[in-house]
Amino acid sequence: MHIVQQILFLVLIVAATVLFLRKVREIRRNINLGKDESFKDNPGARWKNVVLLAFGQKKMFKRMTPAILHFFVYAGFVIINVEILEIILDGIFGTHRMFAPYIGGLYNILIGFFEILAALVLISCAIFLVRRNVLKLKRLNQGELNGWPKTDANAILVTEIVLMGLLLTMNAADVNLQQLHSEHYFNTGSPFWVSGWIAPLFSGMSESSLIGLERVCWWLHIVGILAFLNYLPYSKHLHIVLAFPNAYYAKLVPQGKMQNMPDIQNEVLYMMEPDKAPTDLDPSAAPPRFGAKDVQDLSWKNLMDAYSCTECGRCTAVCPANITGKKLSPRKIMMDTRDRMEEMGKNID
């Protein structure tokens, strides 16, 4: 029976990985529709950006409440993946808690830490759902988010809650099985920090029922994670992955600094001082093109920005035009740019 599960697990892992990489290639192709732009300067400052902006979530802490909640979710996503590594190896080799015999008491500490993070993720996601759907924060309930964007945000939050719930339930069943000295369930020595409190809820179940509960939660948890992985490229939550390259390739010049466009400078100069206007211009030549008509007029970094957009609405919330009642929304521009890239990519296919 174990060998069948291992084969099924391997097929699942390979299929999920292939599908994910295929979509990643499509996104890379879409980003490369943009114009070339070089970011080879000052790698030290760029790695500093990765540490502060991507890992450290520096920009989030301008608003403390969502920042702390988001940090819990982010830290949980990154750190709990260490346990996912063990789950994947267990699935491939047919083992259970592969790392436990090798690191002894440290294993319980690590799992306990992961469980605390899981509980914090669960609570934070529940609060985020309330903020979106009960408190209805203005920037999270504007017209441009109707339909898929709102559904996407809620779906991810619910998925996170379910995944963390499955993890804790799986561990709680495992604690009971360890106490029953069930075969295949390595005794880690003491209950885990969070699931140990949940374990008594299942203490009256038979050994076979506990094994069934633990296995169902194990499979649903890993299948859910693989499904989540393949959902990411279609979701605004792709920023979880793209935050790192996006932070590295961020502009290092002061915010608000703009490069002058020579063609526009010259037009203004010729208006102010007509005698400096060239007289040998070809009248049949096409006039210079300003602005962006389509995604090809943007740089690849601009297009990566669109894929990295979290749709949080902070840009729109401080946009002077939007504040005065105009329909201009920087968030909507980013969302539409991303949609246009996807549309052009499908046409290429």
Tokens 């069934």 identify what position?
Answer: 212
Give domain status of residue 193, yes or no. Answer: yes
Tokens 């002061």 identify what position?
Answer: 254
3-state SS, residue 244: helix
Give domain status of residue 192, yes or no. Answer: yes
Lowest mean per-residue pLDDT among 116-120, 139-143, 236-240, 289-293? 289-293
| Residue 218: both structure tokens together | 């194990």
- Rounded CA gap, 29 and 303, in Å? 11
Give domain status of residue 258, yes or no. Answer: no
- What is the predicted pLDDT for the residue at 57? 81
Give domain status of residue 269, yes or no. Answer: no
- Residue 22 identity: R
Provide the 8-state DSSP code for 57. Answer: -
Structure confidence by residue, pLDDT tens digits, 66-94? 888 888 888 887 787 778 889 999 999 98
Provide the 8-state DSSP code for 42. Answer: -
Give domain status of residue 73, yes or no. Answer: yes
- Rounded CA gap, 72 and 66, in Å? 10
Angle of the 239-248 helix axis to the 300-308 helix axis, nearest 10: 140
- Rounded CA gap, 291 and 333, in Å? 14
Average pLDDT over residues 293-318: 91
Q: What is the pTM assigned to this prediction? A: 0.85
266-273 own/partner pairs: CB under 8 Å, 24+ apart: none
Give domain status of residue 249, yes or no. Answer: no
- pLDDT value at 262 more than 80: no
Structure confidence by residue, pLDDT tens digits, 211-226? 999 999 999 999 999 9
- pLDDT value at 1 more than 60: no
Give domain status of residue 161, yes or no. Answer: yes
Give domain status of residue 241, yes or no. Answer: no
Contact assessment for residue 129 and residue 210, using Cβ atoms and an 8 Å cutoff: no
Find the domain containing 140 and state its range: 63-234
Structure confidence by residue, pLDDT tens digits, 111-138? 999 999 999 999 999 999 999 999 998 8
The total domain count for the chain is 1
Contact assessment for residue 12 and residue 223, using Cβ atoms and an 8 Å cutoff: yes
- What is the predicted pLDDT for the residue at 161? 95
Task: Say how many C-beta atoms besides its own lie within 10 A of residue 68's C-beta.
Answer: 14
